[in-house]
């Protein structure tokens, strides 16, 4: 376990990874609460404003956010580390070759598209101009949904346009 | 390879996990965007000249005495780069942001914001401190006042997935982004009020744990350089857009 924030954490008796700045804020809030409850004739506005500090849910949140002990990985032997690095290298090689293949395919598709545009320019200028004009308010239709493993409960939205009105 | 009588299932098993929207983008959407946005460079240059000529009548003269002193809204925008096989628009970052005004008088309310962001995105939120004073709101420089999470990669796509498939349909009377959405440089921001955070699936069980429920804003940063390609990209990922109904005409995009 790593002990950070030295004196504060040691005083609290917790060995946990805690961010020093936020821990100070938490202590200050707790200190303000205890000091204001002690001194009755103190700064009235500040005490009034901190009424909801007593909310127990905020104490729970502080515990969850700042005082939970971090999860640790199990210790790895030398052979484990070697295996891990070998797997990482194999994955990297796989990804690099797949990526290079996809990149080459994409460049071939792009070149084919450019060649098609050039052929169209020579064949029919009117169609070429129409092909080059792009609508600025173009969007994919709602019917083009992102695929899922299973079909949706509502297969087709028959009243889509009417429902929008 | 597979034992006889066993069905193999190779849906991405060799690749490890990849978010659904990310898979869709790389398999399908990317090529579609490449085709839909391509204009031959000569034609594009001509179109841009026409566009600039049409706008030059209203714009002030370019020969300002001191270019550095222009207001940022009048600064020239980055040029649209020539489209290649590899520079199709992509969602680069999503930032979920909660501005907590109640933290001005009670710092503990920031805990609600931090916790909500962690629950909804699955990542640790960052505190944001005020950069300047604002006496009208009793704000001093350095006061923690907001929280945000920056999402990239699979986390980002998972969050967008939840937003598009679960949260937006559950919202009351939400039908889509307007066609005027976008900041002109490819970033899109959606703002939500405090009734929406409870619609996330993770918040259903722990909603009562929050003393303070706030609204939040989602900023989607894309690598598109103008609004139309950005809108096309987001609509492809499933974000709905509100269209004025118009009859189909011959001059439509192919």
Closest chain A residue by Cα to residue B113: A61
B-contacting residues in A 131-160 (Cβ below 8 Å): 131-140, 142, 144-148
Average pLDDT of the segment spanning B26-30: 94
Provide, rounded to the nearest whole percent, the portion of chain B with pLDDT above 70: 83
- Range with lowest mean pLDDT among A146-150, B60-64, B153-157: B60-64
CB B156 within 8 A of CB B190: no
* Size of the A and B interface in Cβ pairs below 8 Å: 112
Q: What is the pLDDT of residues B130-189, one digit of tens each?
A: 999 988 888 999 999 999 999 999 999 999 999 999 999 999 999 899 999 998 889 999
Give Cα separations from A35 to A29, A50, B233 (angstroms).
10, 12, 56
Comparing CA positions, the residue from B97, B81, B59 lying closest to residue B190 is B97
Q: Which of B31, B107, B160, B228 has the most A C-beta neighbours within 10 Å, making it the best mutation to test the interface with A?
A: B107
Contact B119, B202 (CB under 8 A): yes
Residue from the list A57, A109, A129 with its beta carbon closest to the beta carbon of B31 = A109
Q: Sorting pLDDT into bands at 50, 70 and 90, what band is B245?
A: low
Q: Compare all CA atoms of chain B with the CA of A21 and give the residue at the minimum distance.
A: B127
When the pLDDT of each residue in chain A is averaged and rounded to a whole number, the result is 75
CATH superfamily name and code, B91-242: Ribosomal protein L5 (3.30.1440.10)
Q: Any idea what the Cα angle at residue A101 is, between residues A95 and A102, rounded to 5°?
A: 90
**Chain A closest-CA separation from residue B13 CA (Å):** 13
pLDDT at A13: 39
How many CB atoms are closer than 10 A to CB A95? Answer: 12
| pTM of this prediction exceeds 0.80 | no
pLDDT of A59: 94
- Angle of CA points B78, B84, B89, to nearest 5°: 60
A139 closest CB neighbour out of B24, B44, B241: B241
ipTM topping 0.85: no
Contact B39 A29 (CB under 8 A): no
Parallel/antiparallel/unpaired status of strands B126-129 and B144-151: antiparallel
B73 or B31, greater pLDDT: B31
The residue extents of the domains of chain B are 41-71, 91-242
Query: Degrees (nearest 5) of the Cα angle B241, B243, B248?
Result: 130
**pLDDT for the residue B164:** 96
Q: Distance (Å, rounded) from C-alpha B222 to C-alpha B226? A: 10
Which residues are CB-contacts of A12 (< 8 A; sequence separation ≥ 6)? none
Mean pLDDT of A4-18: 40
- Angle (deg, nearest 10), helices B109-121 and A56-66: 50
pLDDT at B223: 96
Query: B7: exposed, middle or buried (C-beta count within 10 Å: 0-12, 13-18, 19+)?
Result: exposed
Q: What is the pLDDT of residue B79?
A: 85
Average pLDDT over residues B58-65: 58
Give the tens place of pLDDT for each residue, B69-110.
Answer: 666 667 777 888 999 999 999 999 999 999 999 999 999 999
Tens-digit pLDDT profile for residues B219-243: 999 999 999 999 999 999 999 999 8
Q: Inform me whether the pLDDT recorded for B248 exceeds 70.
A: no
User: Which residues in chain A are contacts of B175 at CB distance < 8 A?
Assistant: 164
The residue extents of the domains of chain A are 1-33+55-68, 78-132
B163 within 8 A of B218, measured Cβ to Cβ: yes
8 Å CB contact between B31 and A106: yes
Q: Which of A150, A135, A50 is nearest to B251 (CA)?
A: A135
DSSP state of B99: E
Q: Which residue of B has its CA nearest to A137?
A: B228
pLDDT of residue B57: 62
Which range of A48-62, A102-116, A127-141, B77-91 scores highest in mean pLDDT? It is A102-116
With contact defined as beta carbons under 8 Å apart, do B99 and B146 qualify?
yes
Which residues are paired to B188 by β-bridges?
Answer: B220
Q: Which residues in chain A (104-123) have CB-CB distances under 8 A to chain B?
A: 106-107, 109-111, 113-114, 117-118, 121
């Amino acid at each position: 376990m790593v002990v950070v924030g030295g004196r504060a954490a040691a005083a609290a008796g917790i060995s946990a990874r805690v961010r020093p700045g936020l821990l100070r804020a938490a202590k200050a809030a707790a200190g303000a609460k205890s000091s204001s409850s002690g001194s009755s004739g103190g700064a009235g506005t500040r005490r009034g404003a901190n009424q909801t500090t007593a909310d127990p849910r905020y104490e729970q949140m502080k515990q969850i956010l700042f005082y939970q002990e971090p999860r640790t990985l199990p210790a790895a032997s030398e052979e484990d580390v070697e295996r891990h690095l070998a797997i990482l290298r194999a994955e990297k090689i796989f990804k690099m070759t797949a990526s290079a293949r996809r990149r080459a395919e994409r460049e071939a598709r792009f070149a084919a598209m450019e060649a098609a545009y050039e052929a169209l320019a020579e064949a029919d200028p009117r169609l070429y101009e129409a092909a080059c004009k792009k609508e600025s308010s173009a969007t994919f239709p709602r019917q083009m949904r992102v695929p899922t493993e299973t079909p949706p409960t509502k297969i087709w939205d028959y009243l889509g346009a009417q429902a929008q009105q | 390879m597979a034992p006889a009588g066993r069905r193999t299932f190779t849906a991405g098993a060799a690749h490890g996990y990849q978010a659904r929207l990310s898979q869709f983008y790389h398999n399908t959407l990317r090529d579609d965007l490449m085709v839909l946005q391509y204009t031959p460079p000569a034609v594009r240059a001509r179109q841009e000249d026409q566009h600039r000529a049409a706008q030059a009548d209203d714009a002030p003269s370019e020969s300002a005495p001191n270019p550095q002193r222009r207001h940022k809204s009048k600064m020239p925008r980055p040029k649209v780069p020539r489209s290649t096989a590899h520079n199709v628009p992509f969602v680069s970052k999503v930032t979920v942001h909660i501005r907590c005004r109640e933290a001005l008088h009670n710092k503990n309310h920031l805990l609600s914001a931090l916790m909500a962001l962690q629950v909804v995105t699955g990542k640790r939120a960052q505190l944001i401190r005020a950069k300047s004073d604002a006496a009208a709101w009793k704000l001093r420089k350095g006061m923690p006042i907001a929280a945000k999470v920056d999402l990239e990669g699979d986390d980002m796509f998972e969050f967008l997935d939840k937003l598009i498939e679960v949260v937006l349909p559950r919202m009351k009377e939400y039908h889509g982004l307007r066609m005027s959405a976008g900041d002109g440089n490819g970033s899109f921001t959606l703002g939500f009020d405090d009734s929406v955070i409870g619609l996330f699936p993770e918040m259903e069980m722990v909603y009562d744990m929050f003393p303070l429920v706030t609204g939040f804003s989602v900023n989607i940063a894309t690598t598109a350089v103008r609004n139309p390609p950005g809108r096309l990209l987001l609509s492809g990922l499933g974000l709905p857009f509100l269209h004025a109904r118009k009859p189909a005409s011959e001059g439509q995009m192919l």
